[in-house]
């Protein structure tokens, strides 16, 4: 696990200033505290910060291929590198180290871009190939590892693991991409391939970019996709056994490490499953860690302790304050772009705890997307049954009207909070799901914007990204299309960004075994009834794990990392909320209506309407704009 950065001159092979490459890698030193180096040749410079995990003595980067024709800088882990190495040796390739880095660069020399399909892992890398005359940038299938790039005024392309690496280049010019603000408010994060800094792009998951001198920057090329078009055949027992075997393989593959390794353990289904399989494979007690909260509504430590006792893990728990908002500035620095998933706070804390004992930690992320674990999938599937039997005109007229006139009862029991359900039933499947997965609805965003904002947006809508992904999905049914869109947008934009930035901020490598592409492809082939059955998501996965875990772990209500942000803005963060309405970076952009911001704060503080999530979004956006652009 590392940080990478580099410069490539597109037009001429003019010298690259090594000091600029070094400044870019120094900006992401937290990703690789164990070493730093760079490689410079006419027209290209590659930089690397190393967090040593495998082949501690021989894995330094940038690394040349055995024939001297290619050089790589690489962030990530390839878990099947030994098997790929054997295949390359059969082709006559020679090796000097025991690192997965050398396997990648030799695989590139042997197979070119086709090497990607042979790699099972999380990665983002750049390879300069003298013979082929190119710079090759690639990102793993699901987007576990990040890669940003931009073209500068001098005709060079700069790239790096994090946005701050690009910002360290002296020719970089900072300007706001306002459409990304709407994306952020709509989704809660700035998705791939967008950036809040104009001109910056994120290489999408499962894509590569081939840069050649004398040519412009081309569109990225997709090298992997997941299809929901086929269905697996077999009994529950046989498919359950197949799933358990795939999970076991994915976990053991990710236990390869030359440094101490452990796991996050929340006591939920996913992390508990990973720990169970680790305990089965390990001759020693697995090191596990959990974060607890001083408020019972947010604390899951009793469940984590139950799992830790069951598998005799070396378990550590740390209780933190549920009012842990003191981390805000640290998170703004770590994430660069605005990021509104408040679970980033406890994710940072559990990473911090893990790093005290280990350098690598396995997490349970990915199962909800792969096997339909979110409750929104259950709701969406139920709504689809209504849509399938009622004509579109009737639905739009009846439920659209009810969605507009039904009161917004945030305080009421779930069964009475039907406004959003009515509104979604009056829309198409794609529009409804885009609304369900969003954070701040378009109507609420428009109420905050000035006329200038509406002009700048030129009709841009955050929801359109989801709608397009669902309509173009290689899938037949609405639930399949919703999962596909989440795998392409929500997973890399929110979940994986959160884990990568929070863990790497403390120099911890997080590995996600449940995002092994073989599991993702298996989940996409499952009949819907084996993903969602009744009100139960991840149905087949829970069946497969019954041999390891008790029902009170498998079937308890999902909690996740929660934070009391609504209460914060009526208490310790009330002054911050007022500042947003009166003198913030938001107002200086000219995009936000002062009266609308003030009304939002007043309504929330009075308790009339819960605007907690929106205020959290606005606060994180305000802090990010100040840090990135010096306004406010």
Residue 514 has pLDDT above 50, yes or no: yes
Rounded Cα distance, 245 and 247, in Å: 5
pLDDT per position as a tens digit, 168-191: 999 999 999 999 999 999 999 999
For residue 423, the model assigns a pLDDT of 63
Residue 329 has pLDDT above 70, yes or no: yes
Q: What is the arithmetic mean of pLDDT over 390-412?
A: 53
Q: What is the arithmetic mean of pLDDT over 17-22?
A: 97
Helix, strand or coil, per DSSP, at residue 619 = helix
What count of other Cβ atoms lies within 10 Å of the Cβ of residue 89? 12
For residue 391, the model assigns a pLDDT of 59
For residue 328, the model assigns a pLDDT of 94
Q: Determine how β-strand 44-50 pairs with β-strand 63-64.
A: unpaired
- For residue 53 the two structure tokens come to 């995990």
Residue 412 has pLDDT above 50, yes or no: no
Nearest to 580 by CA among 572, 570, 592: 592
Rounded Cα distance, 509 and 287, in Å: 15
What count of other Cβ atoms lies within 10 Å of the Cβ of residue 578? 17
Rounded Cα distance, 388 and 425, in Å: 11
Contact 375, 381 (CB under 8 A): no
Site of tokens 């709504």:
383
Share of the chain above pLDDT 70, in %: 93
Query: How far, in Å, are 11, 520, 583 from residue 295 at the CA level?
Result: 59, 35, 33
Q: Which of 145-149, 347-351, 381-385 has the lowest mean pLDDT?
A: 381-385
- For residue 542 the two structure tokens come to 């829970």
For residue 426, the model assigns a pLDDT of 61
Rounded Cα distance, 392 and 505, in Å: 49
Contact 54, 256 (CB under 8 A): yes
Tell me whether the CATH fold assigned to 2-222 matches the one assigned to 226-557. Answer: no
Query: How far, in Å, are 376, 520, 524 from residue 379 at the CA level?
Result: 5, 22, 19
- For residue 615 the two structure tokens come to 């205020």
Site of tokens 């139950």:
306
Rounded Cα distance, 521 and 475, in Å: 13
For residue 399, the model assigns a pLDDT of 54
For residue 411, the model assigns a pLDDT of 43
Average pLDDT of every residue of the chain: 92
Q: What is the arithmetic mean of pLDDT over 77-100?
A: 96
Q: What CATH number is given for 2-222 in this structure?
A: 3.60.20.10
Rounded Cα distance, 403 and 56, in Å: 59
The domain locations on the chain are 2-222, 226-557, 564-632
Residue 247 has pLDDT above 60, yes or no: yes
Handedness of CA 31, 33, 34, 39 (dihedral sign): positive
Contact 109, 67 (CB under 8 A): yes
Handedness of CA 203, 207, 212, 218 (dihedral sign): negative
How far from the centroid of its chain's Cα atoms is residue 1's Cα? 16
- Ranges of H-type helices in 489-611: 496-504, 517-525, 528-531, 539-544, 551-554, 565-568, 574-583, 585-588, 594-606
Helix, strand or coil, per DSSP, at residue 127 = strand
Site of tokens 């596990």:
288
Q: Quick one: DSSP state of residue 608?
A: S
Q: Tell me which of 2 and 389 has the higher pLDDT.
A: 2
- For residue 195 the two structure tokens come to 């950036």
For residue 593, the model assigns a pLDDT of 96
pLDDT per position as a tens digit, 565-603: 898 999 999 999 999 988 889 999 999 999 999 999 999
Rounded Cα distance, 176 and 473, in Å: 31
List of E strands, 280-393: 287-293, 314-320, 360-362
Q: Exposure pattern of 58-84 as b/e (b: 16+ CB <10 Å)? A: ebbbbbbbeeeebbbbbbbbbbebeeb
For residue 415, the model assigns a pLDDT of 43
Q: Quick one: DSSP state of residue 258?
A: S
Residue 283 has pLDDT above 80, yes or no: yes
For residue 383, the model assigns a pLDDT of 84
Please, how many CA atoms are within 13 Å of residue 433, restricted to the half-sphere of its CB?
Answer: 30
Helix, strand or coil, per DSSP, at residue 341 = coil
What is the domain class of 226-557 according to CATH? Answer: alpha beta
Rounded Cα distance, 346 and 356, in Å: 16
Q: Which of 2, 115, 134, 289 is catalytic?
A: 2
Q: Which of 140-144, 177-181, 419-423, 614-618 has the lowest mean pLDDT?
A: 419-423
Q: Quick one: DSSP state of residue 590?
A: T
**What is the model's pTM?**
0.93
Q: What is the arithmetic mean of pLDDT over 196-223?
A: 97
- Cross-strand bridge partners of residue 509: 360
Q: Is 115 a catalytic residue?
A: no
What count of other Cβ atoms lies within 10 Å of the Cβ of residue 405? 9
Rounded Cα distance, 319 and 74, in Å: 36
Rounded Cα distance, 132 and 218, in Å: 17
Rounded to a whole number of angstroms, the distance between the first and last alpha carbons of the chain is 35
Q: Which residues contact 391 (CB under 8 A, 6 or more apart)?
A: none
Contact 539, 530 (CB under 8 A): yes
- Ranges of H-type helices in 172-300: 178-187, 236-253, 269-281
For residue 425, the model assigns a pLDDT of 67
Q: pLDDT category, 296, cuts 50, 70, 90? A: confident
Q: Is 607 left (phi over 0), alpha (psi -120 to 50) or beta?
A: left
According to the 3-state scheme, what is the secondary structure of 42-76?
CCEEEEEEECCCCCCCCCCCCEECCCCCEEEEEEE
């Amino acid at each position: 696990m590392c940080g990478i950065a580099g410069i490539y001159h597109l037009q001429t092979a003019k010298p690259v200033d090594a000091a600029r490459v070094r400044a870019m890698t120094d900006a992401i030193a937290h990703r690789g505290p164990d070493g730093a180096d760079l490689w410079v040749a006419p027209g290209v410079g590659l930089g690397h910060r190393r967090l040593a995990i495998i082949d501690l003595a021989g894995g330094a980067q940038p690394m040349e291929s055995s024939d001297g024709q290619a050089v790589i800088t690489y962030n990530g882990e390839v878990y099947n590198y030994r098997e790929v190495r054997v295949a390359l040796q059969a082709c006559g390739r020679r090796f000097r180290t025991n690192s997965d880095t050398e396997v990648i660069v030799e695989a590139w020399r042997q197979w070119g871009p086709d090497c990607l399909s042979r790699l099972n892992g999380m990665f983002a890398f750049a390879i300069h190939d003298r013979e082929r005359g190119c710079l090759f940038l690639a990102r793993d299938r699901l987007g576990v590892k990040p890669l940003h790039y931009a073209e500068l005024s001098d005709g060079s392309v700069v790239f790096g693991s994090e946005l701050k690496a690009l910002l360290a280049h002296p020719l970089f010019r900072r300007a706001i991409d306002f459409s990304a603000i709407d994306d952020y408010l709509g989704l809660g994060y700035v998705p791939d391939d967008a950036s809040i800094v104009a001109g910056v792009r994120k290489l999408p998951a499962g894509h590569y970019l081939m840069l050649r001198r004398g040519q412009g920057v081309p569109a990225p090329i997709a090298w992997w996709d997941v299809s929901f078009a086929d269905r697996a055949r077999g009994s529950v027992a046989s498919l359950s056994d197949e799933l358990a075997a795939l999970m076991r393989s994915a976990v053991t593959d990710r236990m390869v490490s030359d440094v101490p390794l452990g796991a996050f353990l929340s006591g939920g289904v996913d992390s508990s499953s990973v720990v169970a399989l680790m305990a089965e494979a390990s001759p020693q007690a697995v090191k596990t860690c959990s974060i607890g909260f001083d408020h019972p509504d947010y604390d899951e430590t009793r469940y984590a302790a139950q799992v830790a006792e069951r598998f005799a893990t070396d378990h550590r728990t740390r209780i933190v304050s549920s009012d842990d908002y003191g981390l805000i500035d640290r998170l703004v620095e770590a994430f660069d772009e605005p990021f509104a998933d408040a679970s980033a706070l406890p994710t940072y804390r559990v990473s911090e705890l893990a790093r005290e004992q280990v350098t690598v930690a396995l997490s349970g992320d990915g199962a909800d997307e792969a096997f339909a674990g979110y409750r929104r999938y259950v709701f969406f599937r139920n709504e689809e049954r209504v849509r399938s039997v009622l004509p579109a005109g009737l639905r739009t007229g009846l439920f659209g009207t009810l969605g507009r006139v039904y009161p917004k009862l945030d305080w009421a029991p779930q069964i009475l909070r039907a406004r959003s359900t009515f509104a979604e039933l009056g829309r198409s499947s794609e529009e409804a799901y885009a609304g369900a997965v969003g954070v701040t609805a378009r109507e609420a965003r428009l109420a905050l914007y000035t006329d200038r904002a509406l002009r700048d947006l030129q009709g841009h809508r955050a929801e359109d990204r989801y709608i397009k992904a669902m309509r173009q999905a290689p899938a037949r049914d609405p639930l399949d299309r919703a999962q596909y869109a989440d795998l392409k947008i929500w997973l890399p934009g929110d979940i994986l960004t959160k884990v990568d930035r929070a863990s790497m901020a403390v120099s911890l490598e997080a590995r996600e075994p449940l995002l092994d592409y073989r599991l993702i492809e298996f989940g996409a082939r499952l009949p819907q009834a084996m993903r969602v059955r009744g009100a139960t998501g991840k149905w087949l996965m829970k069946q497969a794990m019954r041999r390891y875990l008790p029902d009170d772990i498998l079937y308890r209500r999902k909690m996740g990392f929660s934070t009391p942000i609504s209460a914060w803005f009526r208490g310790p963060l009330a002054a911050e909320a007022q500042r947003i309405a009166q003198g913030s970076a938001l107002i200086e952009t000219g995009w936000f209506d002062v009266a609308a911001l003030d009304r939002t704060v007043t309504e929330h503080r009075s308790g009339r309407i819960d605007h907690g999530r929106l205020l959290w979004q606005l606060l994180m956006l305000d802090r990010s704009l100040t840090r990135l652009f010096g306004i406010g």
